[in-house]
Structure 1
């Protein structure tokens, strides 16, 4: 019989040892949770998962708890004695560089912190150790807009984001199954997911956002919540939201469709269009969701309001109250835009999925017509590009290609993978072209228009998964 899960505190000797430990966690997650009492280890699972996914992480760390009185510049903080969600700090992991940062911690009532003596100074050390540029970006005073992921698909980032997303979805699936008897532990689990996703957005923004484009049709409530959360926090980061705002919109995004748990299952999975009666029942999920959330402790009022209002539109055409203009908060608008885009590309609520470029175009047109703030939709376009990852396009040469990467420096000229030549014949070999860096000695390719993958017989998610 397999032994119960136990955490390992010894240094892993290799990447394979780290992977083995990760698989042990995954086994525990799949096979050991039998009751709400078994939930707590999953928090450790996620925190350890992030440790392994960090490109700068060591196989294990040397952590110790110290008094705030002993904290000094040069030490690397990995945690503190107050919930991350109840602090204004972007993270609970960064290198202390100045005395005023320690004073800020004291001002917020922090009495103890946990430090990593491998990444920073120990109590006996007097000089700061050298850190990577990533460490230097993690000060709580660093502006969000300065944290930008470099261009180019990094396979390690993609795989890290893939695993992170999968575990976040697993956590949310268990959470939704336990909603009949909610406890304070349940909401702590959800906040853990918010923390993990925000870390992922800050570390691997391009990779995290790209995963949303890569997946196949998936009506799952948990995956929609996680993907909407990733996208909403990415839009918020691009827009310059502060850490508290990102946490609020991230929490609301994870829970925004929780009211659908009160709807008939066959209705949620329906692929045909709703009848008028079904549509009316579906529109009640916003108020049902808030009723559920009122049973949970410590859900911020701002997040509950976003859950209630996420289908409201600036022109008054939304529901449940038909709010207009300034009656709808900016964070709610961010959530609405992320929710609408993800619902379109994944196919939800009896609607088939649509190609990313078309979904973006329809969202932009809706903003022009007054349903959304145009500047917030433009933030989404800045994130995804005019032709988002996974878009099937026709080139000026008559070739077909799929967009595989969009650089932050060249939104109109993404990196593509050629699929068919101008004679409609498939390319025998993998041909990747960066449209922003073409040789002047060859005919220049450019995107002419977006195509519908289903009509052309392509599965974009399969192509991207095979490529990455």
Structure 2
């Protein structure tokens, strides 16, 4: 039986019979095949195809009616002109934010203990990681952005541990966006949690150095993927994919990364996912030597780094966090500054924002919530603003204080 469905309902295990609509670059040399590779699913969702026909008789899933996870039906890019729909989420961002604060504290403590064992030369086991990943995965299921957004807030003392929590959450959310199985989603979470365990072999004086690293110090930093591989191999019960992400999350799609200079499809899809999540969290976080960029600005810069990332996976990642992620500083057409406080249920380009500053008077304003997607709302986002161009001391409080 041939059934035509929106591309948002497409999932792994379906037999692709025909692609409908037009796109700039046909993602495949064939159009009829069993969809088994998450990378192929990502390519289709990023291609601009609106709908597809599937052969239910040859599919390996029970139904073509219910998608694994609601998804955007049209492709997005950081500079998108079209307005793609945003997937809905089952819980309130603010409600999950309260739970995520407690989870961050528990996860940080667990990861600190686990990585401390690695620093002392003791074995890291999957049993130690499993409880942390399960809790993070449950939080992401309730609302994918709460923990991801909150985990951006780090100190120099807990950066490595909270970075691992953040990358774990993003890997889980991205894996779900790609339609992976729950087993694959959890493995992606384990990979995110353990990807930087090799930094336990790097002296703190280098990890937390406030100034520029010397060439010798940078070489020590670049050794952490291989050190991490050694730590995980000693454990004996770590899935090979988790070890692969640990070793290759600094590879780049054009082959200019390290430690092995792997290129394009030679890098596993999980390592390509890890590269995106790792970089996004790193550049949005404050470090001893550099203040973090704003979330929207970070996506814009990442989109400009040609050859660094798998473009289809990056498109899927943008769908996860939004074109204007929560916490982004934006300028409205009304010449007010606002911070994004929640993704809109229908449109990625029209989030809910909190206005707080007038560019015309150069004065603070009473804080007002504006839903840019409300019918009749004439205001809109005119541009991203860079955090470093302003000296607002209360940016984080604005998006955390709720609606």
TM-score (norm 2): 0.74
Structure 2: stretches of 5+ with no match in the other structure: 1-65, 72-86
1:276-299 Cα offsets, whole Å, 9 max, x none, are 221111111000111111221310
5 Å matches for 1:124-203? 144-146=68-70, 149-150=88-89, 153-179=92-118, 180-183=120-123, 186-203=125-142
5 Å matches for 1:182-261? 182-183=122-123, 186-213=125-152, 215-216=153-154, 218=156, 220-261=159-200
Corresponding residue of 2:386: 452
Q: Structure 1 residue aligned with 2:373, among 413, 416, 436?
A: 436
Corresponding residue of 1:361: 300
5 Å matches for 1:226-375? 226-348=165-287, 350-366=289-305, 369-375=306-312
Shift of 1:326: 1.5
Shift of 1:324: 0.8
CA distance in 2, matches of 1:320, 1:350: 24
- Secondary structure class of the residue paired with 2:193: helix
CA pair 392-302 structure 1, distance change in 2 beyond 3 A: same
Which of the pair has the greater relative contact order for Cα pairs under 8 Å at 6+ separation?
2
1:78-100 Cα offsets, whole Å, 9 max, x none, are xxxxxxxxxxxxxxxxxxxxxxx
Corresponding residue of 2:74: none
Shift of 1:152: 7.9
- Secondary structure class of the residue paired with 1:394: strand
CA pair 424-431 structure 1, distance change in 2 beyond 3 A: same
Q: Does 1:464 align with 2:402?
A: no
Contact 1:151–1:407 (CA under 8 A) maintained in structure 2: no
Structure 1: stretches of 5+ with no match in the other structure: 1-141
Contact 2:151–2:165 (CA under 8 A) maintained in structure 1: no
Deviates more, 1:382-391 or 1:285-294: 382-391
Q: Structure 2 residue aligned with 1:423, among 358, 361, 377?
A: 361
Shift of 1:166: 2.1
Q: State the aligned residue count.
A: 319
1:230-257 Cα offsets, whole Å, 9 max, x none, are 0111111111111222122211111111
Deviates more, 1:238-247 or 1:147-156: 147-156
Shift of 1:430: 2.6
CA distance in 1, matches of 2:67, 2:134: 18
Shift of 1:370: 2.0
Corresponding residue of 1:411: 348
CA distance in 2, matches of 1:239, 1:348: 31
CA distance in 2, matches of 1:447, 1:237: 29
Q: Does 1:387 align with 2:324?
A: yes
CA pair 316-286 structure 1, distance change in 2 beyond 3 A: same
Contact 2:195–2:249 (CA under 8 A) maintained in structure 1: yes
Deviates more, 1:392-401 or 1:458-467: 458-467
Shift of 1:348: 4.7
- Secondary structure class of the residue paired with 2:401: helix
1:381-423 Cα offsets, whole Å, 9 max, x none, are 1122221111111111211111111124210011111111231
CA distance in 1, matches of 2:219, 2:290: 16
- Secondary structure class of the residue paired with 1:172: helix
Contact 1:233–1:249 (CA under 8 A) maintained in structure 2: yes
1:337-389 Cα offsets, whole Å, 9 max, x none, are 000100000145844311111111111122xx222111111111112222111
Corresponding residue of 2:82: none
CA pair 245-266 structure 1, distance change in 2 beyond 3 A: same
5 Å matches for 1:3-152? 144-146=68-70, 149-150=88-89
Q: For the aligned residues, what is the CA RMSD? A: 2.2
- Secondary structure class of the residue paired with 1:221: helix
Computing the radius of gyration over CA atoms, which structure comes out larger, 1 or 2?
1
- Secondary structure class of the residue paired with 1:241: coil
CA distance in 2, matches of 1:348, 1:365: 22
Contact 1:258–1:289 (CA under 8 A) maintained in structure 2: yes
